[in-house]
């Protein structure tokens, strides 16, 4: 059992954690939730020894106080293992090599006993129901397979005990892959380990956790059995405001001008052609279960995947399927915020300024010269308007939280004043506070005339934010819901209908 008592941390006279108490019990999954900036990451870094807590703090392992800051040796001896978002795998190595790195078994000739290592690795994977080829190169594995590998490796020889801490392990996963990982974590806890599970996906937290702790502004504001919470009550505890303030008021009085239209649109991933119209200021939802075709629609429309037939009309311009490309779509007045923010949405190593102005750079050029002062002024204004924190344009995009990265990507596209903007899973991996801000930004832009195609698996968000929604099933549009019929329950029912 790991006990954290009176954990506080101050940076430059600013309190980040204040008197946090937390107990990780063997056999339990403990969910930890809170907005970005609530103190979750700092708490994990104190537990891993990266930060020293303020005076008066205690961390106990099996009742024994640990010296603070915790050393890697003491953390290892206490059975604590950590799975961070970057996973820390050697992608050029095999599954077996990654499982055994830093902990090789030597035979009597002082050589690595690969036969014994292979046997042990196969046994560990089997114990947790994880099927991986030990000789497969890690770089060839899917993200969920790599995450499962790290979870099993983290437990190592402590398959019946120890503590594993996971920081947002399901953020980039679809629901099926996330479910696979959660099932493995449940088996880990059932075998006697304690699990600290940090996630923005509140439904997952409630489904897997035995107990949940909520942080707000560095303090524990709620801590109880998971069954005592609902998603709404968690959100209210995290934000400190009623759930009714989560979603902005969305106008149903959109414009009369059709600004985006799909006419007989089809690609290899669609079983039937799609026709759809969006009017100025309208927010239209698109949803379905995994692999039903709706996730491909944004990239077909933006010319990033090949379409066979049909046409796309943006504003007063009609583009045949054969002529579509991202460049053509952008020139016509269409934008796309892709689901994979890290690899497709922005350039992580480039600054916030470079990302935000990457699609509007021509506005800041004069006779072939970039007017840096004008660019900086514009970006500073956009960062204030979109509430991007910290408001430092020179920082690389990778330095910002997921929610602030997403707001920067929204600022990039909306600064072009597009006719329409396609959003694919726009709140994926984003905390509830940032989600609330993103919803408001979308609603504000819609009131100003931009149309949105909101492609998401989050049915609750679609029901609250969109004026109507289309449902994909078996790679075809099967139903449209609008008005009073547009509810979470009806969306789920239509998606699940055979």
Q: Average pLDDT in the 263-291 region?
A: 90
* Residue 110 confidence (pLDDT): 67
User: CA-to-CA distance for 193 and 414, rounded, in angstroms?
Assistant: 47
Query: Which residue, among 284, 272, 283, 273, has the nearest Cα to 311 in the 3D structure?
Result: 273
Q: What does 192-223 look like in DSSP terms, one character per residue?
A: T-EEEEE-S-HHHHHHH-SEEEEEETTEEEEE
Least reliable range by pLDDT among 111-115, 238-242, 249-253, 378-382: 249-253
Number of Cβ atoms within 10 Å of the Cβ of 362: 7
* Residue 142 confidence (pLDDT): 80
Least reliable range by pLDDT among 175-189, 209-223, 375-389: 175-189
* Residue 329 confidence (pLDDT): 96
User: CA-to-CA distance for 47 and 213, rounded, in angstroms?
Assistant: 16
pLDDT class of 307 with cuts at 50, 70, 90: confident
Q: Average pLDDT in the 286-306 region?
A: 89
For each of the domains in the chain, give its residue range(s) and CATH number, in order of start: 2-243 (3.40.50.300), 258-496 (3.40.50.300)
pTM over 0.95? The answer is no
* Residue 233 confidence (pLDDT): 94
Q: How far is C-alpha 23 from the geometric centre of its chain's CA atoms?
A: 26
Which of 128-132, 185-189, 221-225 reaches the highest mean pLDDT? 221-225
SS3 430: coil
Name which residue leads in pLDDT, 224 or 183: 224
Residue 160 has pLDDT above 60, yes or no: no
Which of 51-55, 106-110, 124-128, 337-341 reaches the highest mean pLDDT? 51-55
Residues forming a β-bridge with 211:
30, 225
Residue % of the chain over a pLDDT of 70: 95
User: CA-to-CA distance for 288 and 309, rounded, in angstroms?
Assistant: 23
Q: Angle at which helices 402-414 and 372-385 pack, to 10 degrees? A: 120
Q: Mind listing the pLDDT tens digit for each residue in 39-95?
A: 998 999 999 999 999 999 999 999 999 999 999 889 988 989 888 766 778 889 999
Q: Average pLDDT in the 126-130 region?
A: 79
Number of Cβ atoms within 10 Å of the Cβ of 394: 11
Q: Mind listing the pLDDT tens digit for each residue in 348-401?
A: 999 999 999 999 999 999 988 999 999 999 999 999 999 998 899 999 998 888
Residue 498 has pLDDT above 60, yes or no: no
Residue 146 has pLDDT above 90, yes or no: no
Least reliable range by pLDDT among 192-206, 299-313, 431-445, 450-464: 299-313
Tokens of 111: 């050589």
The strands making up 258-267's β-sheet, listed across from edge to edge, are 274-279, 258-267, 307-314, 317-320
Name which residue leads in pLDDT, 336 or 87: 336
How far, in Å, are 232, 243, 246 from residue 432 at the CA level? Answer: 11, 11, 8
* Residue 159 confidence (pLDDT): 46
* Residue 362 confidence (pLDDT): 92
């Amino acid at each position: 059992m790991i006990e954290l008592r009176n954990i506080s941390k101050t940076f430059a006279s600013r309190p980040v954690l204040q008197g946090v108490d937390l107990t990780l019990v063997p056999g339990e999954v403990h969910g930890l939730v809170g907005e970005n900036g609530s103190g979750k990451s700092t708490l994990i870094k104190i537990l891993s020894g990266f930060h020293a807590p303020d005076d008066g703090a205690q961390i106990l392992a099996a009742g024994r106080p640990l010296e603070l800051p915790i050393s890697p040796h003491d953390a290892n001896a206490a059975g604590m293992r950590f799975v961070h978002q970057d996973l820390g795998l050697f992608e050029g190595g095999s599954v077996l090599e990654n499982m055994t790195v830093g902990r090789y078994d030597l035979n009597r000739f002082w050589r690595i006993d690969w036969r014994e290592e292979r046997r042990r690795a196969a046994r560990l994977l089997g114990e947790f129901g994880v099927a991986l080829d030990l000789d497969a190169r890690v770089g060839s594995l899917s993200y969920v397979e790599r995450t499962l590998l790290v979870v099993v490796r983290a437990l190592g020889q402590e398959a019946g005990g120890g503590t594993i801490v996971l920081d947002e392990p399901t953020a980039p996963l679809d629901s099926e892959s996330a479910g696979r990982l959660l099932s493995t974590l449940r088996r880990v806890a059932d075998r006697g380990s304690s699990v600290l599970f940090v996630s923005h996906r509140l439904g997952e937290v409630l489904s897997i956790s035995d107990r949940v702790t909520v942080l707000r502004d560095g303090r524990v504001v709620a801590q109880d059995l998971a069954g005592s919470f609902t998603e709404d009550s968690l959100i209210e505890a995290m934000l400190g405001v009623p759930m009714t303030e989560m979603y902005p008021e969305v106008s149903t009085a959109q414009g009369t001008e059709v600004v985006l239209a799909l006419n007989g649109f089809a690609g290899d991933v669609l079983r039937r052609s799609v026709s759809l119209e969006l009017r100025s200021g309208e927010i239209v939802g698109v949803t379905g279960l995994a692999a039903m075709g709706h996730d491909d629609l944004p990239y077909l429309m933006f010319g990033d995947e090949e379409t066979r037939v049909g046409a796309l009309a943006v504003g007063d311009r009609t583009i045949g399927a054969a002529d579509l490309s991202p460049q053509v779509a952008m020139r016509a007045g269409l934008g796309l915020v892709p689901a994979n923010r890290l690899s497709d949405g922005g350039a992580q190593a480039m600054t916030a300024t470079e990302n935000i102005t990457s699609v509007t750079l021509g506005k800041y050029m004069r006779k072939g010269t970039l007017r840096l002062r004008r660019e900086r002024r514009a970006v500073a204004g956009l960062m204030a308007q979109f509430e991007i924190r910290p408001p430092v344009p020179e920082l690389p995009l990778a330095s910002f939280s997921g929610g602030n990265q997403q707001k920067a990507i929204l600022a990039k596209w909306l600064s072009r004043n597009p006719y329409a903007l396609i959003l694919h899973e726009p709140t994926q991996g984003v905390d509830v506070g940032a989600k609330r801000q993103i919803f408001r930004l979308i609603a504000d832009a819609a009131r100003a005339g931009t149309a949105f195609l909101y492609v998401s698996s989050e049915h609750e968000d679609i029901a609250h934010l969109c004026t109507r929604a289309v449902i994909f099933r078996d790679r075809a549009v099967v139903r449209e819901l609008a008005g009073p019929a547009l509810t979470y329950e009806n969306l789920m029912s239509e998606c699940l209908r055979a």
